[in-house]
């Protein structure tokens, strides 16, 4: 059931040996990254680590950053900032949706007010034969 809710890239597919080979690192490196909180593989009922494509992509990014001379503390900071940026972007998207809905609601209220004003003017000017 949980797998159905996951993005295809987040689905745990690879055991540590395969994940290490795909990422071009030693399995011990993956364990070290996990202990530092850089990757969080899912676990099976038997406690086997299962890595997703997203985990592999994250390890590749870590490898790229460390190859550029950035230490793991720097990598952790960069990954944290990236996550915070993504959170901010999601928040901005939500705020934009709310703004659009508020603009629509305001437009609807203005239209109702304009219609009400027209109807009121017409009612005030309405003369019945018995009023004359």
The residues near 41 (Cβ < 8 Å, ≥ 6 apart) are 12, 16, 19, 30, 34, 49, 50, 51, 52, 55
pLDDT along the chain (132 residues), means of 10: 68 93 96 94 93 95 96 95 96 98 95 83 60 56
Residue 117: what pLDDT?
78
* Closest to 49 in 3D by CA, of 31, 24, 62, 29: 31
The closest alpha carbon to 49, from 6, 13, 11, 15, belongs to: 15
Instruction: Catalogue all structural domains in the chain, each as residue range(s) with its CATH number.
Output: 1-70 (1.10.1660.10)
For residue 132, the Cα-to-chain-centroid distance in whole angstroms is 68
């Amino acid at each position: 059931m949980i797998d159905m809710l996951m993005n295809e890239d987040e689905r745990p597919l690879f055991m540590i040996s395969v994940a290490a080979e795909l990422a071009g690192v030693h399995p011990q490196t993956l364990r070290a990254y996990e202990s530092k909180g850089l990757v969080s593989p899912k676990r099976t009922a038997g406690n086997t680590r299962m890595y997703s494509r997203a985990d592999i992509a994250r390890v590749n990014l870590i490898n790229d950053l460390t190859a550029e001379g950035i230490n793991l503390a720097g990598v952790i900071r960069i990954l944290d900032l990236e996550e915070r940026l993504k959170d901010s972007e999601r928040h901005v998207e939500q705020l934009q949706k709310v703004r659009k809905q508020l603009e629509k609601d305001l437009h609807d209220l203005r239209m109702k007010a304009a219609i009400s004003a027209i109807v009121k003017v017409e009612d005030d000017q309405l003369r019945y034969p018995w009023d004359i």
